A and B are shown apart, each in its own frame.
Chain A
Amino acid sequence: MMRPRWRKVFHDLINNLSRTLLVVFSIAVGVFSIGVIVGAYVIISNDMSQSYSSNHPANVELRTGPFDDSLVSTIQNVRGVNDAEGRTVLSLRARIKGTENWQTLNIIAIEDYSDININLLNIDEGTNQPNNKEAVIERKVLQDMQVKVGQTLELQLENGTIKELPVVGIVQDASTAAGDFIANPFVYITVNTLPYLNEEPLFNRLYVTLAENENDNTHLQTMLTVIRDKTEQSGVSVFHSRFAKTNEHPMASTVQAILGILLALGILILFLSSSLIANTLNALLNQHLRYIGIMKLVGASRNQVLQMYMVLILSFCLIALGIAVPLGGQGAYGLAAFIADQINFALMGYRIVPLALIVQIVVGLAVPLMAGFIPVLNGSKISVVRALSDNQMLEENKPEQVEIKKETFVEKISLRFTKLLSKRNIHIPRPLLISFRNTFRRKGRLILTLFTLTMAGAIFIAVFNVRVTLFDYLDGIADYFMADVTLDFDQPYRVKDITNRVMAIPGVADIEGWAYASAEAINLDESLAENITILAPPSDSTMVTPNLIAGRWLIPGDEKALALSEQIYEDFPDLQPGDKIRIKIYGKKEEWTVVGIFKFVPQEGTFAYGTYEYISKITHQNNRSFSYRIMLENHDKKNQKAMGVVIDDYFQNAGYNVDQVRTGDSTLKSASESLDILITFLLIMAILTAIVGSMGLTGTMGMNVLERTREIGVMRSIGAVDRAIMQTVIIEGMAIGGISWLMGAILSVPITYLLSDIVSLAVFESPIQVIFTTTGFLIWFLVVLILSALASLFPARNAASLTIREVLAYE
């Protein structure tokens, strides 16, 4: 048998279901978002490194000239080496048999799939151990090609012949090229399949895992030097080398930064939801003042009242937790899975994150109890006469204070305004006037609602601005790849020859032959600092528009000169233009001058520009080039694609060894991928804040209508029809939405700067130029008007459905 006072609490909980739902949902939204973010944060930071390291990622990777098993055994015997494997990587064009589209894939040949100990392959489907003349594909292939197990892959060899390989499995390779968005997708075959593809069964990649200290940078560096030297001593040339920790995914810091931003937004949502809770509880206490008065009249002490309402709030909390905790757990895993999929690593399986659980429970209890404590305390303090007299309003009357009826400032203004208008024969419809007066009636509530909606709007708009800012930045990056079509050959051809042929194709505007080189920046102690990929356009190139942050661009006549991407700051933070940097290029150690530093997206290794004239000389490719940049007369994507096919066909038919033909946007696509993830999350957060905001408005309008039941009854009794009543409520809601839009639009400016700085500092090395777009402002304007109309529709229908009898029976 429940005591009457607890029975009352119970009734308060279940009798007014819509109010209970409103409070519960305001709590649940905050608890949910914080749970999702904290959970995802914990899962990602744990699983990203754990799943990465569980695949035994190589600690040292060398790209070399051809070698065989003897080098592998040599390296295996080096002290400190755990294991070494040789693999072959070559790139070929492939397509699904029976389809048209060619795709460039990286073919990886492995000797013995039953004995892989480095860069393990996890099965998604089928097998991860192809037999001879079979292929297993990495899941990233599926992004561009809808291959299924059982289908056949056609590979085009350098001589133009086509070889078939049935696909027997799909795997995830989380280690090879981890974090390298630009790498081609992988296909795995056996080494014995290589002759079938006209390739020698020799390796060109060496993967090594270390026996100890595999997470210590200095040790890794030392071992890399040892292994590289050993390799070179064996007569195998090393083109490129890198080392990586076992327990740290290359993208870890970027992902942590993204999650950090999400966490900040989650806390903000929590903040908004707590203002929503405060609002709703305040209104609830207002409605309950009479009951508090009655209870005090029949003997309730302040503490008893306090207790009853705190228990009521606690019950709201518990229901909210019951909903939000399981959903938050699911959401956290969903978000983590989404990120994992984007970054390409496997999660360790669904689980409950204790930290997220604790945070959710603490937040779900503490925030509402704190938000509710003040209104409950005030309510419990009210004297019986005040509680039982008719017009008690918690927030507006301080105890024992006289209420002097005066027109408020807003009322005065609006009165004057309407008079002014009516003098000019403009008459604002009555319901509209009532709406506006209502809007300003409950100041405290209005302020809280406006705050919530304003913050939501400001974040929403800011996300759009940041999105444009990032895209604009990417466009800037695209200036480095300005060509409409990039044409790569498997062997160098004379620039003059290719230029003449390409220029003869109608629609082509310009062509440049570029040179490439790999170099390694080395520290004073001879250890590797950073791999540098050097692109070398002609020094009078029109196809690069660099975004310099220091120094100058390359000029004709520059020798041993480089313009480096800002990534170099990670290893040489004090580098200045004009400084010399020690690099190893084509087996020689030299000092080159850094003429300038330019902005670029983050990635493995550093990009640099040199001049074609000098680089082609030292690579002994004078007047020849593997790679050509082509400008078209018409730059739109469709034309780029079409011309890509034309140029491809032309050179294939003319007997050239075409490696691949890429069009402008495909180059950009890879670069933008990491930012896309970020923007998606930001948008999700913006939408969440919008939902919280509109829930706040629904609550406010609901409360306004409830408190005005009597007034609505009076309006009705003097002949107001349903539509008129609904109109006043909806217009009121939209007025609040409109005001919040204005304030949100203003507030979005500093938030845009803040967010864009946080994002760019997290993802890039330096802040980027902020760009504003009207899109966010316009979309939010529409969204907030629609949301506020919808948010007031429900309360408005309630209001309209009240009959006079019900209104008079109210109380």
Chain B
Amino acid sequence: MARKSTLIQKDKHPSTQSSEPLINVSDVVKSFKTAGEDFFALNGITFNVYPGEFLGIIGKSGAGKTTLVNMITGVDHLTSGQVSVNTNNRKVSIHHFNEDQLALWRGQNMGVVYQSFQLLPMLSLLENIMLPMDLCGNYSPSQSREKAYELLRMVELEDHAKKLPKFISGGQQQRVSIARALANDPPIIIADEPTGSLDSITADHVFGVFETLKNQGRTILMVTHDKSLSPRFTRTLVIQDGELAHDSQTEAM
């Protein structure tokens, strides 16, 4: 198609690190009620994410990585602290939203990718990608269709557009879920171990997709427990027992 990539605006998110943080995580605490005492999965975590960063969140199993990501995407409530996000010149404290406001805001500002893909099994790949556009109402049906094709092309799956998720491989499904995360053209992509259930070659391919996105200027937060990936991020945070144990940025300073 002649209009290739016109809808993915490469220069919208300049990769220069301005002083204004995109995401501000401030003293976030998350405790879970258990049969005995409350369990603190996050113990006061504070950090900033700047536009254009490819941030790796690294930690052992049970360290609190997923919990942290859930605080940033707002899919779970925090116990105390604050997460504010500044996109499109609008700074919002996401935990002050009600659920519907948050869902709409997230649909437009954050693409979320999970380890287990989370595609709707009854929809084709194309429809899965169109779904966020349909729900957030930013695009007309024909526009969203065109854009979904474009995104599928980007993840090299346009030939499979009409297939159901169960008929493609895990790596392919994960690429579809990345494409879906990009549907509403959000400035922020958050991925929780997106390569966790893939073999190393496929994982590498999927990771490559994220690097491409980074190069297009998107801000990406990715959780992994694979330390060897550290060099490929622009910055890494290490989480340990619900606390921020290491931040490569402060180190550099």
Contact = CB atoms under 8 A, between A and B. Distances in A.
Interface of A: 1, 3-5, 7-8, 11-12, 15, 290-291, 293-304, 383-385, 388, 402, 404, 809
A3 B118 contact: no
Interface string B151-174: 000000000000000100000000
Contact of A388 (B100, B104, B118, B141): B118
Contacts of B70: 385
A295 B76 contact: no
B141 A3 contact: yes
B35 A402 contact: yes
B7 interface: no
A295 B122 contact: no
Interface residues of B, number: 37
A2 to B, nearest CB: 9
B118 A297 contact: yes
Contacts of A293: 118
Given A4-B123, A15-B122, A385-B75, A299 B136 contact: yes
B100 A297 contact: no
B34 A402 contact: yes
Contacts of A4: 123, 127-128, 130-131, 134
Contacts of A291: 120
Contacts, number: 88
Contacts of B118: 290, 293-294, 297, 388
Q: Is the interface of B mostly helix, strand, loop or mixed?
A: helix
Nearest to B35: A404
Contacts of A383: 75-77, 99
A803 to B, nearest CB: 15
Contacts of B142: 1
24 contacts: A4-B130, A5-B134, A7-B127, A8-B123, A11-B123, A12-B122, A293-B118, A294-B118, A294-B119, A294-B120, A295-B135, A298-B132, A299-B106, A299-B132, A299-B184, A300-B103, A301-B103, A301-B104, A302-B100, A304-B135, A383-B76, A388-B114, A402-B33, A404-B35
B107 interface: yes
B28 interface: no
A809 B165 CA distance: 12
B191 to A, nearest CB: 13
B145 interface: yes
B147 interface: no
A567 B78 CA distance: 79
B112 interface: yes
A297 B107 CA distance: 7
Interface in B93-129: 99-100, 103-104, 106-108, 112, 114, 118-120, 122-123, 127-128
B141 A1 contact: yes
Residue among B106, B132, B135 with most chain A CB within 10 A: B135
Given A299-B108, A385-B75, 12 more contacts: A1-B145, A4-B123, A5-B131, A8-B123, A291-B120, A296-B99, A296-B103, A298-B183, A383-B75, A383-B77, A388-B75, A402-B33
A254 B178 CA distance: 72
Contacts of B135: 5, 295, 298-301, 304
A383 B103 CA distance: 10
Nearest to B67: A385
Contacts of B166: 809
A518 B104 CA distance: 88
B34 A303 contact: no
A298 B122 contact: no
6 tightest Cβ-Cβ pairs between the two chains A and B: A299-B107, A11-B122, A384-B75, A298-B132, A301-B100, A4-B127
Nearest to B66: A385
Nearest to A14: B122
Contacts of A15: 122
B131 A298 contact: yes
